[in-house]
Amino acid sequence: MNLKERIKILKDANQIDNSVEVSLLNIINMFWDNFNIKLTEKNGSMLITHLAVALERIKQGKCKTGIDEDIYKEIQQNEFYGKSVNALSKIADICNIDIPYNEQTFIIMHLCTLFQNNLWESD
């Protein structure tokens, strides 16, 4: 399975709507265009799946509790935290949505992981 197939499955199962589907596809392109990262099932499935669910939750006003603040403080020390905040801003622009803080913390965690893993893969 690839990420586009994953997104189609989520759409066909009515877990996401058309606008989220389009946003996710644009986010995949954004990572290539802005960060030279080709999102794949291996490196991007957790992020894309989380974003799909999170975007639907945000649209429905059903945001969940964020990461424990002590854990988030550790994430803020990650060398890719700034880059992750930048990527999150681009994601919010693509989706044309204000992402609540509680959702931001989880997304930033996934982004830090993505950037860290991409560094390892390129070594």
Could you read off the pLDDT of 35-89 as tens digits, one per residue? 999 999 999 999 999 999 999 999 988 877 778 899 999 999 999 999 999 999 9
pLDDT in tens, 75-118: 999 999 999 999 999 999 999 999 999 999 999 999 999 999 88
Q: Where are the beta strands (DSSP E) in the chain?
A: none
What mean pLDDT is predicted for residues 10-21?
A: 95
Q: Please tell me the distance from the alpha carbon of residue 39 to that of residue 114, in angstroms, as a whole number.
A: 9
Q: Are 47 and 111 in contact (CB under 8 A)?
A: yes
Q: pTM, whole model, 2 decimals?
A: 0.90
Burial pattern 7-17, b for ≥16 Cβ within 10 A else e, equals: beebbeeeebe
